[in-house]
Amino acid sequence: MKYKLICGLFLLILLVACNAHRSKENMVVEPKAPAKIELQNYQGSWTDKDFNQYMCSDCLNSVEISMNENRENEGTISIFLYNPVRVTDSIADFQLVDNKADFIFDDDAGKGKGTVTFLEDEIHIRLSLEQAIDELNEVYYQERILVRDPYKGLKRYDPLELTKDYLHLKDTSLLELNSSAEYNEELEAGPEVEIVNRKDESGKVIEMYQVNTLNKKIEELGM
């Protein structure tokens, strides 16, 4: 009887220790807000951690934060969403209270309210929409986390070399970057996605390719 009791206590202690270890492993470290938010440190572009051009050449969710020069706790937020074509590029004013700011979202894509939360090295955006098109709801059905550079640490590949391998060419002499391609509504060219022209021997452009320099995805574009 005494032996069984000792074994039982030992098993109980072991079980408690295992559960404590698992709980520690499963703990999620939540980002904290700085002691004092200085809006000037958050100015500029922020990109969605999970909805960007590494995931998809034609999709991007980003915001631009600007500070009012005369009032340091006031600013504007511009939201840009492509999925895959332009969904919204709305802009709204906000006033910072502690580390949060509420704003009115009023765009053809949807209407409602939004909240931006400023944390260390990231910002969170939540939209509470009274009405919205499906393309907007597909992304903003939950809070979005945005960072300065979601591509940090990722290798960027040479678009000409990628296209050469894709087309099984011996070299890149008949390939060139399309310098006239701009970052347009269809995201056909941008910081992470390039447009590559293929020329014939006379120098005439005969094909164009959209090349993702992050995930190596290549797609032929219509001429």
pLDDT band at 167 (very low <50, low <70, confident <90, very high): very high
Are residues 113 and 94 in contact, defined by beta-carbon separation less than 8 angstroms? Answer: no
Alpha helices in the chain (DSSP H): 2-25, 134-140, 159-167
- Pull the structure tokens for residue 56: 């998809």
Report, in angstroms and rounded to the nearest whole number, the Rg of the chain calculated over CA atoms. 25
Specify the amino acid at residue 165.
D
Distance in angstroms (rounded) separating the CA atoms of residues 61 and 55: 11
- Of the CA atoms within 13 Å of residue 53, those in its CB half-sphere come to 28
CA distances from 185 to 85, 88, 132, 154 (A): 6, 10, 20, 25
The residues, ordered by sequence, that sit 6+ positions from 117 with a Cβ below 8 Å of its Cβ are 33, 99, 100, 123, 124, 125, 126
Read off the pLDDT of residues 84-138 as tens digits, 9 standing for 90 and up: 888 999 999 999 999 999 999 999 999 999 999 999 999 999 999 999 999 999 9
- Pull the structure tokens for residue 199: 């020329």
The CATH class given to the 39-147 domain equals mainly beta
Give the total residue count for the chain: 223
Percent of the chain with pLDDT over 90: 69
Quote the mean pLDDT of the chain: 85
Read off the pLDDT of residues 49-95 as tens digits, 9 standing for 90 and up: 999 999 988 889 999 999 998 888 999 999 999 988 889 999 999 99
28 pLDDT more than 50 = no
Specify the amino acid at residue 220.
E
pLDDT computed for residue 25 by the predictor: 45
Are residues 206 and 198 in contact, defined by beta-carbon separation less than 8 angstroms? Answer: yes
pLDDT computed for residue 178 by the predictor: 87
pLDDT computed for residue 72 by the predictor: 84
pLDDT computed for residue 84 by the predictor: 84
CA 139 vs. chain centroid, Å, equals 11
Domain map (residue ranges) of the chain: 39-147, 159-221
